[in-house]
Amino acid sequence: MALESKKDWILMATARSPTNIAVVKYWGKRDEALILPINDSISVTLDPSHLCTTTTVAVSPKFDRDQMWLNGKEISLSGGRYQRCLREIRSRAGDVEDEERGICIGKEDWGKLHVHIASYNNFPTAAGLASSAAGFACLVYSLAKLMNVREEQGKLSAIARQGSGSACRSLFGGFVKWEMGKDSTGSDSIAVQLADEKHWNDLVIIIAVVSSRQKETSSTTGMRESVETSPLLHYRSTEVVPKRILQMEEAIRTRDFSSFARLTCADSNQFHAVCLDTSPPIFYMNDTSHRIISYMEKWNRFEGTPQVAYTFDAGPNAVLIAPNRNVAALLLQRLLFYFPPSTDTELKSFVLGDQSIVKDAGIVTKEDMDALATPPEVKDNNASTQKFPGDVSYFICTRPGKGPVLF
Ligand code: ADE
């Protein structure tokens, strides 16, 4: 059956993509339209069983325009970022044949066909958990599968990059570098996998979703203002990051947690220093974020070697990385000691994700949490044991995870 002869068919593809957390940050574009960065960045892909986007894309001759629904609500596809991704994927589409159903789409037909896209994030889109990274990675990946685009994953990453810069890194699992590239077309500004998720699978990642009433500066605006006004950003991108990238690659290759943690914390702190160096200054972290840094620094100093790495993106949420499950259990105990839920919150809706970490920490009931001992680094220094109930909305326990998959 030729494409035009019957109009009641529909062809679909569903994919799931992870989010990622940068340990060497992307901050600043050299080309706003193509989303080309001023430095390389490195990220850890997070396990999609805990944080992911699931996207179904469908094509049918019955559809009269491209449409998209995000978490069940229609959103506009007229923005440049969506238009670029759709155009780039369509221009690479191949022939698709489903003999059983008598569907035959020639590559020249894709320009005349419209798509419907339904995307769901399994975490609150407004929580500041890099939803656009998972979202655009999933959009590009699912469309590429539907339209039989036969490009390497690196080439797909360059398309996802044009939707949201950090989305390019979500095309791979494990540990990923986004190479800034030199070409003005952006063809070499792509993601490459440094190591897969099994390479360093004892790492445990705990995300503290920090309550915030403040409307944050968007990353796009913040980056532009930093590029225009921050002398520190110029120094960072030319003098600091090139060396840090090499050191981070080595730390990941050799699974050297001390080095990994020092580099991760230093990079997060420099990124936020750049934000303060921007005119007008940008404040992404709040008092709770600062408190978390201070507790982690105290613990690391007390032990003499890093127990945990912390990193913060363009928002107040903390991403904490522990070298193994034993340390992760101690980390979770500390976090729950300082930041218990407010009285009306159930424990099971307060610590989400990998429940085995909660079990290892020995916290099954609210009574277990009330009985948590004062951390030794606090006792030793007579530091404050003040608690801040409700300042963290919830925690998510996760680990390094795999890249996009088709269902
Ligand atoms: N922004 C936030 N979530 C998204 C999604 N799932 N797809 C595209 N853009 C997004």
Q: Is the CB of 17 under 6 A from ligand 1?
A: no
Q: Is the CB of 257 under 6 A from ligand 1?
A: no
Q: Is the CB of 53 under 6 A from ligand 1?
A: yes
Name the residue of 19, 116, 132, 170 to mutate for ligand 1: max ligand atoms within 8 A of Cβ.
Answer: 132
Nearest to 192 by CA among 42, 48, 405: 42
Token digits of residue 149: 């685009």
Beta-bridge partner residues of 52 = 18
For 311-350, the pLDDT digits (tens) are: 999 999 999 999 999 999 999 999 999 999 998 888 889 9
Token digits of residue 241: 């990051």
User: Residue 394's pLDDT is what?
Assistant: 96
For 38-61, the pLDDT digits (tens) are: 999 999 999 999 999 999 999 999
Determine the straight-line distance between the first and last CA of the chain, rounded to whole angstroms: 26
Token digits of residue 128: 């500041």
User: Residue 1's pLDDT is what?
Assistant: 42
CATH 3.40.50.2300 at 11-197, yes or no: no
Start and end residues for every CATH 3.30.70.890 domain found in the chain? 204-398
- For the residues 234-241, what does the mean pLDDT come to? 98
Start and end residues for every CATH 3.30.230.10 domain found in the chain? 11-197
Q: Predicted confidence band at 290 (pLDDT cuts at 50, 70, 90)?
A: very high
Q: What count of other Cβ atoms lies within 10 Å of the Cβ of residue 97?
A: 12
Q: Is the CB of 82 under 6 A from ligand 1?
A: no
What ipTM describes this predicted complex? 0.90
Helix (H, G, I), strand (E, B) or coil at 178: strand
CA distances from 296 to 168, 201, 205, 309 (A): 30, 22, 14, 8
User: Residue 3's pLDDT is what?
Assistant: 53
Residue with CA nearest ligand 1 atom 4: 135
Q: Is the CB of 125 under 6 A from ligand 1?
A: yes
User: Residue 405's pLDDT is what?
Assistant: 98
2 pLDDT higher than 80:
no
- For the residues 117-141, what does the mean pLDDT come to? 93
* Cα–Cα distance, 262 to 265 (Å, whole number): 5
- For the residues 197-209, what does the mean pLDDT come to? 97
* Cα–Cα distance, 191 to 152 (Å, whole number): 11
For 359-384, the pLDDT digits (tens) are: 999 998 888 988 999 999 987 777 78
Residue with CA nearest ligand 1 atom 8: 135
Letter string b/e over residues 55-73, b meaning 16 or more CB atoms within 10 A of that residue's CB = bbbbbbbeeeebbbebeee
Quick check: 336 and 391 in contact, CB under 8 A? no
Strands 175-178 and 52-60: unpaired
Q: What kind and span of H or E run contains 337?
A: helix 325-338
Maximum CA extent, the chain: 80
Query: What topology is assigned to 204-398 in CATH?
Result: Alpha-Beta Plaits (3.30.70)
CA distances from 123 to 147, 328, 395 (A): 28, 22, 12
* Cα–Cα distance, 226 to 234 (Å, whole number): 9
Q: Kindly give the interhelix angle for 287-303 and 257-277, rounded to the nearest 10 degrees.
A: 150
Q: Is the CB of 132 under 6 A from ligand 1?
A: yes
